[in-house]
């Protein structure tokens, strides 16, 4: 009896693979030192399906130097628990997989079919399974449906997709070299000058991305508007009032606009010409990941990272295909009819799927973009087996309706324009309406068109100007990025990948470089970007990053080697980082004020002392070293107000106010624990309460 070990990326995927491979009975769930495996009996063979927890191995420095040490050029791949803090679970998974692998004589990587999945499987097989990567096979699939998984198992590739795994390794290594050296250079320089520890990070993609936001902020901060005037005109057509446009959209000289008003006010005009044009509106193309993220932001306000997270859950639930795709194609092999049949079991889609199926051959309006590994995102035709939450429901509906809309008929729209003459002046009335809905009715609420219906008009008809006035307006600065538009900017600049861009956008928030949904660059973002621009402009220039992306893509197609790209990166970075090292004092000097400001902000509460109105701060008792919230009116006003705060973990003052008492809430982050959010004021009041029947309410924040 042979034993096959199948490695999947996540526990849910392991279950689906196991279920798909066990034909007669259900797979048996077994636990190896607390780590779940699924055992499947297939003919004479035994199949063990295990799962990773995303990456179990990571790049780390070779030696055991201090975490502040740099430059670092020597690295290797280490189990994640040895490379990063708080990875106990990952350690258990590695140990159990390693143990089980000894029983196996055949190995399959069944992680998601893309760079990350290929790399996750490769490192586990190579390091945890004693070099099994050399004999391992690869299952390739785009959905977790039983049919496709069985098919992928039957047609398993005889060896791993090494080029994809090497491209993944290279990306991690290059990013690690960038991140570790440049971030440590900044952090160390700041520490040297201010003796305050602040994590300052930058990265190969993060640096240029932050620069986009900073440059936009700079544009807004130095913006000088200029005035212009528009005419607001109301005309009366057979007793109906309609707003008209003047032929000149904006006047840059006020007096010119005023004289136009003088010449037209109270006058009658004639309809000189009526024009109508018909436009064809093609159906939308199938969703690639970035289009899905953009639509999810537009309609639901989901950040790109949230949209990807939800899409991945729907994928793991077998409801949609793999979302990390660049493709806008839907090959017929996915089985359009079958999918329509499946969707017709859901009430909301019954009539539209019937309509489509009845309309004849199904041909999607494919886009140009392609992806060698996956088709565009599409619904599998599966019906949700559990109650989807509101966000999942929304995204699922969007994916389904988009899929249906791509098969729809071209829609037609008519635009109407009437030209009104008042002396030498021309005014326009505009209308538009949908003539044939076509795909618009399939896309449902996601296809929005404003229809303006004009009354029946005739050439030569008389109309009167009932109102004409001047509106003063100003030119506007460019708008700030939001997570969705920043992702688009990264995509256009060709930096990052579909899998990593959303995370990088989120990192900018986490590192304190941006705040608010309309991304405002903080003073720290300005300072770090300016330092990088002054001392090492190359690292935040998109050109090098983009070129590197190109080379890494070449590794995927076998035209470039991982070693070559890594060596080239080290050669490129070495003089830059060594240069930074010699300028630590100068850089530190430039960072000192901002670090001090940040530190001050981190200990100063935004709510005043409820007793005396002075500023409240987190301070330490000089004798006991215990921290607490103290009032700065202690000496001048003899105020004795004070509140205890948790003693252990990193304390952060939140902007959030307590819903019960309005006091500022705090968060405590301890190693390996969920962050705890609490109100220091309510904490004390509950302690003072006569009967403390329950524990203090310290609500954990939901962190995903």
Catalytic center residues: 322
Q: Are 686 and 692 in contact (CB under 8 A)?
A: yes
Q: How far is CA 393 from CA 110, 207, 310, 398, 467, in A?
A: 28, 36, 10, 9, 48
Q: Among residues 217 and 288, whose Cβ is nearest to other proteins?
A: 217
Total binding residues for other proteins by CB under 8 A?
20
- Using CB under 8 A as the binding rule, whether residue 537 contacts other proteins is answered as no
Where do runs of H (alpha helix) occur along 583-651? 584-603
In sequence order, the 6+-apart residues with CB closer than 8 A to the CB of 261 are 231, 468, 469, 470
Q: Among residues 469 and 475, whose Cβ is nearest to other proteins?
A: 475
DSSP character string of 489-524: HHHHTT-S-TTTHHHHHHHHHHTTSEETTTTEEPHH
- Pick the piece of the chain touching other proteins (CB under 8 A) from 2-10, 173-181, 221-229, 358-366: 221-229
Q: Among residues 218 and 581, whose Cβ is nearest to other proteins?
A: 218
CA distance linking residue 268 with residue 235, whole number of Å: 9
DSSP character string of 243-301: EEEESSS-BSSHHHHHHHHHHHTT-EEEEEEEEEEEEEEPPPPPBPHHHHHHHHHHHH-
- Using CB under 8 A as the binding rule, whether residue 227 contacts other proteins is answered as yes
- Using CB under 8 A as the binding rule, whether residue 700 contacts other proteins is answered as no
CB of 221 to other proteins, least distance (A): 4
- Using CB under 8 A as the binding rule, whether residue 515 contacts other proteins is answered as no
- Using CB under 8 A as the binding rule, whether residue 476 contacts other proteins is answered as yes
- Using CB under 8 A as the binding rule, whether residue 223 contacts other proteins is answered as yes
- Pick the piece of the chain touching other proteins (CB under 8 A) from 5-13, 249-257, 263-271, 309-317: 249-257
Interaction residues for other proteins, span 631-650 (CB under 8 A): none
Torsion angle of C-alpha atoms 247, 250, 256, 261, degrees rounded to 10: 60
CA distance linking residue 10 with residue 121, whole number of Å: 11
- Using CB under 8 A as the binding rule, whether residue 530 contacts other proteins is answered as yes
- For residue 619, the SS3 value is strand
Closest CA to 303 of 704, 623, 681: 704
Q: Among residues 224 and 387, whose Cβ is nearest to other proteins?
A: 224
Q: Among residues 491 and 590, whose Cβ is nearest to other proteins?
A: 590
- Using CB under 8 A as the binding rule, whether residue 224 contacts other proteins is answered as yes
- Using CB under 8 A as the binding rule, whether residue 221 contacts other proteins is answered as yes
Three-class HEC string of 447-467: CCCCCECCCCCCCCCEEEEEE
**Binding residue (CB under 8 A) for other proteins from 474, 547, 652, 697:** 474
- Using CB under 8 A as the binding rule, whether residue 603 contacts other proteins is answered as no
- Using CB under 8 A as the binding rule, whether residue 585 contacts other proteins is answered as no
- Nearest 5°: phi and psi at 339? -65, -45
CB of 203 to other proteins, least distance (A): 24
Q: Among residues 254 and 298, whose Cβ is nearest to other proteins?
A: 254
- Using CB under 8 A as the binding rule, whether residue 226 contacts other proteins is answered as yes
CB of 692 to other proteins, least distance (A): 49
Interaction residues for other proteins, span 382-441 (CB under 8 A): none
- Using CB under 8 A as the binding rule, whether residue 215 contacts other proteins is answered as no
Number of Cβ within a 10 Å radius of residue 685: 14
Binding site for other proteins (CB under 8 A): 218, 220-228, 252-255, 474-477, 530, 593
């Amino acid at each position: 009896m042979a034993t096959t070990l199948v490695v999947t990326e996540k526990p849910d995927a392991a279950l689906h693979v196991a279920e798909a491979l066990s034909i007669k009975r259900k797979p048996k769930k077994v636990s190896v030192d607390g780590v779940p495996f699924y055992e499947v009996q297939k003919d004479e063979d035994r199949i063990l399906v295990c799962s990773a927890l995303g990456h179990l191995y990571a790049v780390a420095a070779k030696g055991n130097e201090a975490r502040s040490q740099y430059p670092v050029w020597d690295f290797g791949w280490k189990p994640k628990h040895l490379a990063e803090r708080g990875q106990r679970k990952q350690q258990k998974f590695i140990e159990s997989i390693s143990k089980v692998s000894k029983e196996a004589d055949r190995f399959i990587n069944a992680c998601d079919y893309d760079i990350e999945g290929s790399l996750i499987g490769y490192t586990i097989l190579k390091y945890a399974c004693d070099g099994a990567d050399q004999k391992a096979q690869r299952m390739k699939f785009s959905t977790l449906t039983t049919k496709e998984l069985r098919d992928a198992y039957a047609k398993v590739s005889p060896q791993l997709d090494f080029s994809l795994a090497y491209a993944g390794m290279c990306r991690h290594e290059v990013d690690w070299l960038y991140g570790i050296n440049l971030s440590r250079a900044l952090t160390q320089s700041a520490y040297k000058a201010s003796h305050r520890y602040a994590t300052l990070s930058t990265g190969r993609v993060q640096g240029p991305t932050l620069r986009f936001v900073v440059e936009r902020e700079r544009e807004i901060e130095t913006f000088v508007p200029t005035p212009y005037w528009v005419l607001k005109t109301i005309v009366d057509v057979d007793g109906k009032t309609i707003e008209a446009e003047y032929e000149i959209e904006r006047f840059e000289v006020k007096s010119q606009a005023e004289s136009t008003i003088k010449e037209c006010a109270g006058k009658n005009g004639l309809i000189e010409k009526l024009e109508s044009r018909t436009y064809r509106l093609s159906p939308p193309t199938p969703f690639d990941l970035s289009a899905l993220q953009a639509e999810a932001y537009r309609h639901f306000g989901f950040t790109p990272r949230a949209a990807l997270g939800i899409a991945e859950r729907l994928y793991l639930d077998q409801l949609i295909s793999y979302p990390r795709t660049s493709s806008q194609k839907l090959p017929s092999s996915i089985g359009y009819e079958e999918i329509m049949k499946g969707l017709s079991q859901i009430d909301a889609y019954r009539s539209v799927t019937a309509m489509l199926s009845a309309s004849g051959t199904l041909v999607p309006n494919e886009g140009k973009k392609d992806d060698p590994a996956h088709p565009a995102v599409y619904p599998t035709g599966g019906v949700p087996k559990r109650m989807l939450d509101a966000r999942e429901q929304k995204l699922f509906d969007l994916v389904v309706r988009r899929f249906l809309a791509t098969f729809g008929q071209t829609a037609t729209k008519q635009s109407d324009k009437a030209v009104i003459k008042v002396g030498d002046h021309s005014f326009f009335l505009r209308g538009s309406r949908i003539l044939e809905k076509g795909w618009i009715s399939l896309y449902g609420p996601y296809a929005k068109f404003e229809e303006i219906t004009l009354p029946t008009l005739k050439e030569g008809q008389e109309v009167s100007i009932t109102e004409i006035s001047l509106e003063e307006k100003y030119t506007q600065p460019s708008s700030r990025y939001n997570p969705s538009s920043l992702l688009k900017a990264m995509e256009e600049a060709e930096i990052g990948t579909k899998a990593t861009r959303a995370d990088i956008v989120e990192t900018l928030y986490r590192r304190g470089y941006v705040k608010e949904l309309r991304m405002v660059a903080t003073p720290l973002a300005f300072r770090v970007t300016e330092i990088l621009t002054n001392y090492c402009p190359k690292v935040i220039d998109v050109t090098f990053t983009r070129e590197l992306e190109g080379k890494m893509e070449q590794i995927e197609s076998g035209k470039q080697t991982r070693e070559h790209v890594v060596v080239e990166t080290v050669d490129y970075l070495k003089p830059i980082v060594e240069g930074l090292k010699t300028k630590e004092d100068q850089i530190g000097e430039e960072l000192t004020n901002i670090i001090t400001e940040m530190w001050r902000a981190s200990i100063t509460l935004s709510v005043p002392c409820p007793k005396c109105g002075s500023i409240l701060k987190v301070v330490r008792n000089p004798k006991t070293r215990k921290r607490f919230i103290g009032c700065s009116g202690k000496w001048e006003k003899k105020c004795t107000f004070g509140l205890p705060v948790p003693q252990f973990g990193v304390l952060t003052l939140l902007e959030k106010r307590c819903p019960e008492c309005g006091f500022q809430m705090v968060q405590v982050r301890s190693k390996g624990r969920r962050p705890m959010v609490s109100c220091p004021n309510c904490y004390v009041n509950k302690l003072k309460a006569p009967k403390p029947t329950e524990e203090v309410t310290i609500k954990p924040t939901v962190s995903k």
